[in-house]
């Protein structure tokens, strides 16, 4: 899975995306100017291949939301839903389901297939990478709220990708810039960070994304980042937990991934560990190098998992943002989200300022 540079495809990108070894495109904020432009971009990507490339985005809410105006509702940080849980558990679950519905419906109306959400890391109060992206410190609260969010996404037909397995919330270092090391034992991780994945939630996830975190006291033998570890991905996630969906690597250009060598080494290590799709972001030169050299073969099991990836249903109300804006259940869900957002903005001046221009409905 690769990215593209701007608001429309270049000739070089069109050629690259037609390479059968490319399986998807991940979009970023730089790929978005307004609703019409985004729909044109996704339409162009979709028209390149049959079956079409998967179009994905990191769209969680809070500080990780790539599209915020003109057709997109500003979504609350997941920690806000966790805070609501303390006073109103059923209200928090309803709000989480509404957030999942709004998130998925607005993306689907713009031609996007998949969001890399929810974050299942625990809010341990120390991680620079996670912070307010996490629902809660209690793994059962995380599992319950995440399941509600995923259910809202499934109401639209969109798959969800839980991250960052087995857990990124306990390390202060940010794997975008550092190589985090979590010194805890396997039993501690199993009972805390992995607990949300042991919930019924795991059966509802279309995918899981592992962490670029090293767990030296939890893994037998020489430990490396979880995304390059067959122990974590094959033995624990696949065999012990029984996960049958897709495993997406995190971006292989993050600092936490560099321990596996050059780009071919990183992709090869991720593939051997059990990743089905490898994200190579923000370095088109490395994508070109990878395609010019040797990539791992795609096995039959990965092809089968890709073929069953849930995609947004072809409902008439998802045809475009204008159709979505006429759909009453979308408005009802959006009102729930805005109520939570108002609670969040009361304690966050930055969020309050964002509300004035970032919480308009689709269409």
Burial status of residue 54 (CB atoms within 10 A of its CB: 0-12, 13-18, 19 or more): buried
pLDDT band at 347 (very low <50, low <70, confident <90, very high): low
End-to-end Cα separation, the chain, in angstroms: 29
Contact 100, 152 (CB under 8 A): yes
pLDDT score for 341: 87
pLDDT score for 172: 82
Contact 114, 158 (CB under 8 A): yes
pLDDT score for 258: 87
pLDDT score for 65: 95
Catalytic residue annotation: 176, 250
Length of the chain equals 363
Contact 103, 77 (CB under 8 A): no
pLDDT score for 355: 38
Question: pLDDT averaged over the chain?
Answer: 92
pLDDT score for 350: 45
pLDDT band at 153 (very low <50, low <70, confident <90, very high): very high
304-342 per-position pLDDT tens digit? 999 999 999 899 999 999 999 999 999 999 999 999 988
Q: Please tell me which of 129-133, 141-145, 288-292 the model is most confident about, judged by mean pLDDT.
A: 141-145
pLDDT band at 356 (very low <50, low <70, confident <90, very high): very low
Which DSSP helix (H) or strand (E) runs through 322? Answer: helix 321-325
Rounded to an integer, the average pLDDT of 282-287 is 94
pLDDT band at 346 (very low <50, low <70, confident <90, very high): low
Largest CA distance in the chain: 57
Calculate helix-pair angle for 78-85, 139-154, nearest 10 degrees. 120
The C-alpha torsion from 198 through 183 and 230 to 176, rounded to 10°, is 100
Instruction: In whole angstroms, give the CA distance from residue 142 to residue 19.
Output: 39
pTM of the model: 0.92
Show Cβ contacts of residue 256 under 8 Å, excluding neighbours closer than 6 positions: 175, 176, 178, 179, 180, 211, 212, 213, 225, 250
pLDDT band at 256 (very low <50, low <70, confident <90, very high): confident
Instruction: In whole angstroms, give the CA distance from residue 318 to residue 338.
Output: 21
Rounded to an integer, the average pLDDT of 123-141 is 92
């Amino acid at each position: 899975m690769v990215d593209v540079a701007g608001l429309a495809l270049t000739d070089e990108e069109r050629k690259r995306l037609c390479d059968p070894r490319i399986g998807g495109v991940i979009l970023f904020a730089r790929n978005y100017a307004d609703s019409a432009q985004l729909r044109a971009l996704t339409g162009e990507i979709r028209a390149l291949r049959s079956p079409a490339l998967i179009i994905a985005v990191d769209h969680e809410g809070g500080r990780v939301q790539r599209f915020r105006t003109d057709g997109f509702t500003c979504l609350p940080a997941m920690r806000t839903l966790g805070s609501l849980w303390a006073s109103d558990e059923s209200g928090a679950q309803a709000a989480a389901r509404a957030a999942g519905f709004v998130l998925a419906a607005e993306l689907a109306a713009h031609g996007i297939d998949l969001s890399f959400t929810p974050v299942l890391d625990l809010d341990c109060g120390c991680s620079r990478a996670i912070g307010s992206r996490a629902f809660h410190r209690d793994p059962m609260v995380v599992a319950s709220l995440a399941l509600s969010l995923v259910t809202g996404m499934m109401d639209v037909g969109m798959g969800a990708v839980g991250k960052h397995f087995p857990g990124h919330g306990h390390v202060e270092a940010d794997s975008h810039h550092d190589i985090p090391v979590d010194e805890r034992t396997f039993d501690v991780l199993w009972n805390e960070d992995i607990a949300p994945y042991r919930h019924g939630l795991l059966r509802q996830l279309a995918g899981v994304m592992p962490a670029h975190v090293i767990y030296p006291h939890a893994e037998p033998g020489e430990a490396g980042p979880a995304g390059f570890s067959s122990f974590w991905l094959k033995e624990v996630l696949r065999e012990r937990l029984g996960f049958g969906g897709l495993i997406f690597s995190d971006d292989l250009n993050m600092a936490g991934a560099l321990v596996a060598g050059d780009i071919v080494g990183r992709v090869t290590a991720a593939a051997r560990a059990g990743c089905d799709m490898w994200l190579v972001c923000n370095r088109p030169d490395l994508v070109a190098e990878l395609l010019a050299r040797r990539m791992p073969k795609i096995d039959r099991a990965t092809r089968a998992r890709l073929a069953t990836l849930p995609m947004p249903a072809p409902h008439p109300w998802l045809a475009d943002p204008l159709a979505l804006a006429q759909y009453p259940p979308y408005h009802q869900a959006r009102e729930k989200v805005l109520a939570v957002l108002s609670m969040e903005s009361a304690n966050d001046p930055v969020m309050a300022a964002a509300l004035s221009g970032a919480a308009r409905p689709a269409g």
